[in-house]
Structure 1
Amino acid sequence: MEQFISRVKSSLAERLELAQSFGKIGEWEFDFLSGSAIWSKEVYNFYEVDLDLPPVLFHESDEYYRPEEKTRLFSLIERLRLTRTAQQDVFQVHLPNGKVKWHRSLLIPEVDVNGQLVHMHGLLQDITDEMMARTRLKEEQVFFQSVLDSIPADIAVYSEDQRYLYINETAVADAEARKWIVNKNDFDYFTMRGLPLDRAYKRQAQFRSMLEGKEKKFFEEHSVKNGKDIYKLRQFAPIWDKQTGKLRYVIGYGVDITDWKLSEQRLVSSGIAMEASTDGIAILGADETYQYLNNAHISMFGYDAEEDLKGKTWRAIYPKTEVERIEKILLPLLMQEGYWQGETVGKKKDGTLFHQEITLSALPNGGMICICRDISKRRERDEEMQKLALVSNRSNNIILILDNQRRVDWVNDSFLRLTGRTKEEVLGTRFPSETPGWSNDNLPPWLQFGMHQHQHMKGELAYYTATGEEIWLQGEINPVYDDNGEFRYSACILNDITLIKAAEKNALTALHKERALSELKSRFVSLASHEFRTPLAGILSSTDIIREYADTIEDEAAARILNHTDRIAEEVLRMTEIMNNVLLLGKMDAGKIPFRPGSGDIHEFIQTHLRRVSTAFRERVRFNGPGRPVHTRFDPNLLDHILNNLLSNAAKYSPAELDIFVDLLPDESDGIQIVVRDKGIGIPAKELPFLYESFFRGSNTNDFHGTGLGLPLVKQFVDLHGWSIRIQSEENNGTDVTIIIPTES
Structure 2
Amino acid sequence: MPKQAQADRCVEIGSKAILDAIGDAISIQDRDLRIVYQNPAHIRLMGEHLGEYCYAAYQQKSEACQGCHLLQCFADGEIHRRQSSAVKPDRGVIHVEIVSAPVSDASGAIVGGIESVRDVTDRVLMEERLQKQLAAIETSMDGIAILNSEGEYVYLNHAHAEVYGYPAAAELIGKSWRCLYEDDELERFQRDVLPILFERGAWRGEATGRRADGSRFPQELSLTITKDGGIICVVRDISDLRQSESQLRLLNLDLQARARELTAVNRELESFSYTVSHDLRKPLTVIKGYCELIQEGCGSQLKADCGEYLKEICQGADNMNLLIDALLRFSRISRSELHQQTVDLSAIATTVAAELGMTEPGRRVTFRIAESVTAEGDADLLRVVLDNLLGNAWKYTRGKEQAVIEFGMMGVEGGAAYYVRDNGWGFDMAHAGQLFAPFLRLPGAGAEGYGIGLATVERIVKRHGGKVWAEGEPGKGATVFFTL
The normalised TM-score by structure 2 is: 0.55
Give the Cα–Cα distance (whole angstroms) in 2 for the partners of residues 380 and 491 of structure 1.
20
1:608 to 344, 351, 356: 351
Structure 1 position 522, deviation (Å)? 0.8
Amino acid at match of 2:369: G
AA of the residue aligned to 1:682: F
State how 1:243-258 maps to structure 2 within 5 Å: none
Q: Give the aligned partner of residue 577 of structure 1.
A: 326
What is the distance in 1 between the residues matched to 2:285 and 2:308? 19
**Which has the bigger relative contact order, CA under 8 A and spacing at least 6?**
2
Question: How do 1:464-475 and structure 2 match up within 5 A?
Answer: 464-466=208-210
Instruction: Choose the corresponding residue for 1:684, options 418, 429, 434.
Output: 429
Aligned twin of 1:351: none
Q: Secondary structure of 1:679's match?
A: coil
> Is 1:410 aligned to 2:410, yes or no?
no
In the alignment, which residue of structure 2 is the partner of 1:595? 338
Residue in structure 2 matched with residue 728 of structure 1 by the alignment: 471
2:399 aligned with 1:657:
yes
Residue of structure 2 in register with 1:625 after alignment: 369
1:619–1:529: structure 2 CA closer, same or farther, 3 Å change rule?
farther
Query: Alpha-carbon deviation of 1:559?
Result: 2.5
Report if the CA contact (8 A) 2:291-2:314 is conserved. Answer: yes
Please list the CA deviations of residues 520-572 of structure 1 after superposition, one character each: whole Å capped at 9, or x if unmatched: 21111111122112123324433553464365235523322111221232134
What does residue 180 of structure 1 align with? none
In structure 2, the partner of 1:520 is: 264
Shift of 1:519: 1.0
Give the aligned partner of residue 308 of structure 1: 60
Letter in 1 for 2:277: R
Letter paired with 1:567: G
| Equivalent residue runs for 1:104-253 within 5 Å | none
Number of paired residues? 377
Residue pairs, 1:320-335, within 5 angstroms: 327=79
For residues 283-294 of structure 1, what are the structure 2 equivalents within 5 Å?
283-287=25-29
8 Å CA contact 2:368, 2:406 repeated in 1: yes
Q: Is the 8 Å Cα contact of residues 318 and 346 (structure 1) preserved in structure 2?
A: no
Q: Could you tell me how far apart the structure 1 residues matched to 2:474 and 2:390 are?
A: 18
- Measured in 2, the distance between the counterparts of 1:678 and 1:684 equals 15
Instruction: Give the corresponding residue for 2:246.
Output: 502
How far apart, CA to CA, are the structure 2 residues paired with 1:543 and 1:656?
34
For structure 2, the 5+ residue unaligned runs are 1-22, 48-54, 87-93, 100-113, 167-171, 180-185, 194-202, 223-231
Instruction: Give the secondary-structure state (helix, strand or coil) at the position aligned to 2:367.
Output: strand
* In structure 1, C-alpha distance between the alignment counterparts of 2:470 and 2:191, rounded to whole Å: 56
The residue number in structure 2 matching 1:549 is 293
Percent identity reads 12
Per-residue displacement from partner, 1:309-366 (whole Å, max 9, x unpaired)?
Answer: 7997998269969x999938x8xxxxxxxxxxxxx55599xxxxxxx975689xxxx9
C-alpha spacing 1:542/1:306, structure 2 compared with 1 (3 Å): farther
SS at match of 1:610: helix
1:682 deviation in Å?
1.1
CA distance in 2 between counterparts of 1:438 and 1:706 reads 77
Indicate the structure (1 or 2) with the bigger Cα radius of gyration. 1
| Aligned residue number for residue 119 of structure 2 | 371
Q: Is the 8 A contact 1:684 1:698 kept in 2?
A: no
With structure 1 as the length reference, what TM-score do the two structures score? 0.39
Q: Which residue of 2 aligns with 1:637?
A: 380
Change over 3 Å in CA distance of 1:642–1:699 after alignment to 2: closer
The answer on whether the counterparts of 1:581 and 1:709 sit within 8 Å (CA) in structure 2 is yes
Q: In 1, are the aligned partners of 2:426 and 2:472 still within 8 Å (CA)?
A: no
- By how many angstroms is 1:729 displaced? 1.6
Distance 1:515 1:371 in 2: 74
Task: Select the structure that is richer in helix.
Answer: 2
Aligned-partner Cα distance in 2 for 1:437–1:649? 76
Distance 1:309 1:282 in 2: 25
Structure 1 pair 698/377, CA: closer, same or farther in 2 (3 Å)? farther
User: What's the secondary structure of 2:348's corresponding residue?
Assistant: helix
> 1:111-140 CA deviation, whole Å, 9 max, x = no partner?
xxxxxxxxxxxxxxxxxxxxxxxxxxxxxx
Tell whether 2:307 aligns with 1:558: yes
Gaps of 5+ in 1: 1-280, 296-302, 331-343, 349-355, 428-432, 441-450, 453-460, 478-488
What are the residue-to-residue correspondences of 1:422-433 with 2, within 5 Å?
424-425=176-177
Q: Note the C-alpha offset of 1:503.
A: 2.7
Which residue matches 1:278? none
Distance 1:692 1:437 in 2: 69
Instruction: Write the deviation string for residues 244-264 of structure 1: whole angstroms up to 9, x where unpaired.
Output: xxxxxxxxxxxxxxxxxxxxx
Give the residue type in structure 2 aligned to 1:605. I
